[in-house]
Structures are given as C-alpha cells and as structure tokens.
C-alpha cells in the first residue's frame, strides 16, 4: 500500500520551507494523462528554441544540442522506453528534466522566455489542431460512405415520418442525403472551430509576457499558426477553443445519435427496413435468436458522455478570474475523452453505413400503409380548381372512409373516390401510387430519384474539391 505520509520535492522548490506532501504531489500531477501531448510539447520546444537562437539567447551549438536531445527523447517515448515520473508533475517537466539529464545545463536554458502556462496552452492547441485535422478526414470518409449508399438507394421507396407517424413517401436515398447534409454542416463547424484553435499563445509566459525580445511571429510561423495571440492574460487562461470544440463534437454526436436511433428501429423485427452486417452486432447471452445493433446503440449512449464533457468544461471556466488557475488542469481529461469518443464513433459509422442493406419490400409495404399519398390527392384536387382548405376536408373524409373499410387511397375504386368529390377522374391513380408521389417532387431538395442522384453528384463534386 502507498505511504501517503512520504514527501517529495519539486523542480522549483526554492521558495518553500518544506517539500510537497507525496499525496499532494500525486493529486496535483497531470503526467498520467497529459503525456499524450508529448509530441506537441517537443514540437513547441523546438520552435521556441529556434526563436531563442534567432535573438541570441541560445548559440547555434546549444540549439543543435537541444534539437538533437529532443529528437532522442521523442524516439524514447515512441519506443515506450521513456520513464514518466509523477514527481515531475506533468509532460513538460518530464521532458525538460530528461533533456537536462541528456545535454546538461543547456537543457535548462530552453525555458527562457516562457512559462508552463503558455507552454501548456500551446501544447493543447497543437494537439487539438492535429486531432481536428484527423476528424475532418473521418467526417469526409463517413460522407463518402453515405453517398455510396444513397446512390444505390435512390429509387428505394420508404415511408417518411413526422411525429414518427407515416407522413409521405420518400426514397431511402433521399433520407440518407439528409444525414449527409447534417454531416456537411458538422464539417464546416470543425473547419471554423480550427480557425480559433490555430492561434499561438506561446510568448505570453506566465501572464504578462516576457522581458526578452522574443519574436512571436517567427514562432507562430514555425508551428504553422495563423498568428500569435494579442493579449498575454487571455492567452494563458483562454479555453474557449476547447469549449467550442466540445460543442462542435456534441452536435456531431447528436446527429449520429439520431441516425443511430433510426438504425436501431429499422433493424428491429417490427420495422425490418435494413440489415446490419453481423460484424457490427452482437448476440445475447441467453436468447439465441438475438442480434443486437450494438454499434449504433453505443454511439447513441456515448453522446451523453460528450454532452457531459461540454457541461464540465463550461462549468470549469465559469468562475475563473484572469489569468491562469490550477483549475485548468481539469480541461484535459474531458477534452481528450471527447476526442477519443468522437474519433471512435465516426470510425464505426464510416465503416458500417456503406455496408447497410435495405429491405426494399418491407420499406415499400410500410410506405403503402398510413395513407401516405393523402397530400398528393389534396394537391390533385387543387389542380382541379378546389381551394386547398376544401381539398383538405375532402381528403380527410376519404381517409376516414379508408380507415373504416381498411383500404388505402390507392386501393379504392374510382366510384368510391368520386363519392367524396365528383371532380375526381381516372387520372387520380397516377398521383396515388408511391412511385408517382416521389417522382412528382422533382425540384432541388425534393425526394424524386432524379433529384437524389443530382444531390449525390453535387455532393461528390464538393468532396472531390475538398480532397484535391
């Protein structure tokens, strides 16, 4: 069992009369989770070192030593040979201590003109920028999968719902393109979020800047940032970009959770609209017939987890005075878990959605039920000169009769239909068929197969421009 009465020393303990309690050292340490930013920490240190050399704080030889030492440390970490120490508290001090161990006092010079406050703010931005770039690729891959399936299902008729009640017939391809449009907005939100991530806080030091003649524009350029931040107090305490990312991630997860809900229903015996391949499902420990849609269910469940991280980050920041506070150490775990959860969910859906198979006959039969062409009949009557409100009443009576007799509108005889309006002629059956209903909505954004294929082609062109 760990002895919580032991004590430990910190790298900067000169001001203190006694060492930090061992439990406190562990309680305040972040290295167990922030070590995932080691690559970005080294990347930032190399750029900072080059800037220090450019203003004469480091010699060329010292800079070469630092760069070589950091490269060796990065290799050690990649090979799993780096020894992380809780006593050194965080990723930054672990790497700095190892660098000093390797190259001597020159390693201590690297921290000139910066603080852990602006260092960690830079590392988080570098890390999150890398992750957003990967997420943009996964969103694109998911969109490609949606387009592939939508193109195959452009003519597949299914019921469209409002209030989860049969409303009007649509095509499965059109429904899938609704998913695509949601994800397109999500892509744009990630791109926009990245703009505010891509600003350099390094050089703000602890909170007030530094007396050294640093060149922040040079550092920003070396690290690929758009520009340096403009206020040192804000630079070290800003976590808006992380909150904005968590908000964007929450919206993406919300969209995928909606799709997940539909897939869970559609894969059930009651709907039987789609077939999910076995590799995305599991069985039951007691019921041998069960095939559970675990992937969409888990994505649906993980959505709440991401929402929680957004609320946690908002609450973390709501009472903090400027500038940096130790509270901000709590930003990383929710941020990291949000990234991991979103990456996993996107990957699962990008793999699964193109593999979905439609049960066309079941979809078609479901679309026939529920008087889904009632609006088409009303539009037909308007075309015969009837005011829409009056047409609405006529069709309502016809539907009431259909409910009583157990007949869909398309199953009624002409004589039965004419009992509700003498203006109804034999051409009414052209609009009462499911095929005629979807084909009639032949405008941009409509559900006709022709429009679905145009929407797919347009989206493919947009993705091709993105990938060039």
Catalytic annotation, residues: 163, 284
Contact 123, 30 (CB under 8 A): no
Q: CA-CA distance, 212 to 93, in Å (whole number)?
A: 22
CA triplet 458, 174, 364: central angle to 5 degrees? Answer: 150
Contact 177, 456 (CB under 8 A): yes
What values do phi and psi take at 29, rounded to 5? -75, 150
DSSP tag of 354? G
Contact 111, 45 (CB under 8 A): no
Q: CA-CA distance, 192 to 185, in Å (whole number)?
A: 10
Q: CA-CA distance, 436 to 419, in Å (whole number)?
A: 23
DSSP symbols for 38-91:
HHHHHHHHHHHHHHHHHTTSS-HHHHHHHHHHHHHHHHHHHTT-----GGG-SH
Q: How many CA atoms lie within 13 A of 435 on its CB side?
A: 3
What values do phi and psi take at 362, rounded to 5? -70, -40
Beta bridge partners of 7: 21
Beta bridge partners of 171: 157
> Peptide bond before 323: cis, by omega within 30 degrees of 0?
yes
Q: CA-CA distance, 200 to 219, in Å (whole number)?
A: 8
Q: How many CA atoms lie within 13 A of 241 on its CB side?
A: 28
Q: CA-CA distance, 62 to 109, in Å (whole number)?
A: 9
Q: CA-CA distance, 254 to 300, in Å (whole number)?
A: 8
Contact 226, 199 (CB under 8 A): yes
Q: CA-CA distance, 460 to 89, in Å (whole number)?
A: 49
Q: CA-CA distance, 39 to 409, in Å (whole number)?
A: 66
Distances (CA, A) of 142 to 138, 162, 166, 243, 441: 6, 26, 28, 24, 27
């Amino acid at each position: 069992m760990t002895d919580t009465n032991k004590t430990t020393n910190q790298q900067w303990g000169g001001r203190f009369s006694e060492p930090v309690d061992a439990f406190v050292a562990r309680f305040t340490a972040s290295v167990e989770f922030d070590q995932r930013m080691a690559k970005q920490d080294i990347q930032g240190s190399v750029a900072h070192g080059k800037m220090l050399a450019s203003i004469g704080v480091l010699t060329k030889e010292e800079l070469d030593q630092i760069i070589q030492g950091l490269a060796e440390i990065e290799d050690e970490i990649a090979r799993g040979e780096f020894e992380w120490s809780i006593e050194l508290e965080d990723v930054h001090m672990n790497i700095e201590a190892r660098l000093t161990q390797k190259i001597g006092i020159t390693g201590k010079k690297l921290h000139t003109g910066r603080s852990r406050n602006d260092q960690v703010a830079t590392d988080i931005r570098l890390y999150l920028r890398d992750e957003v770039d990967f997420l943009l690729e996964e969103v694109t891959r998911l969109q490609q999968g949606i387009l592939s399936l939508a193109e195959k299902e452009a003519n597949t008729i299914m019921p469209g719902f409002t209030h989860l009640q049969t409303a009007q017939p649509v095509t499965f391809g059109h429904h899938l393109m609704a998913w695509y449009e949601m994800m397109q907005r999500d892509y744009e939100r990630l791109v926009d979020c990245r703009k505010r991530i891509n600003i350099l806080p390094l050089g703000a030091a602890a909170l007030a800047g530094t007396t050294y003649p640093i060149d922040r524009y040079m550092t920003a350029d070396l690290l690929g940032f758009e520009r340096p931040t403009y206020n040192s107090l804000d630079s070290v305490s800003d976590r808006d970009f992380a909150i904005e990312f968590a908000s964007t991630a929450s919206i993406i997860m919300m969209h995928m959770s909606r799709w997940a809900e539909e897939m869970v229903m559609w894969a059930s015996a009651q709907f039987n609209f789609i077939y999910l391949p076995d590799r995305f499902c599991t069985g039951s420990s007691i019921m041998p017939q069960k095939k559970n849609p675990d992937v969409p269910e888990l994505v649906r469940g993980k959505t709440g987890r991401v929402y929680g991280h957004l609320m946690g980050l908002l609450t973390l920041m709501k009472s903090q005075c400027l500038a940096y506070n130790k509270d901000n150490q709590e930003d990383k775990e929710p941020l990291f878990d949000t990234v991991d959860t979103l990456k996993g969910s996107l990957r699962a859906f990008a793999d699964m959605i193109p593999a979905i198979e439609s049960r066309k006959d079941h979809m078609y039969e479901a679309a026939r039920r529920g008087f889904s062409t009632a609006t088409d009949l009303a539009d037909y009557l308007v075309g015969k000169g009837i005011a829409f409100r009056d047409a609405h009443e006529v069709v309502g009576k016809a539907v009431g009769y259909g409910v009583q007799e157990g007949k869909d509108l398309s199953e009624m005889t002409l004589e039965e239909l004419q009992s509700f309006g003498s203006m109804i002629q034999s051409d009414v059956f052209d609009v009462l068929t499911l095929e005629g209903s979807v084909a009639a909505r032949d405008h941009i954004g409509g559900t006709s197969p022709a429009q679905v294929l145009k929407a797919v082609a347009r989206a493919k062109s947009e993705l091709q421009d993105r990938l060039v």
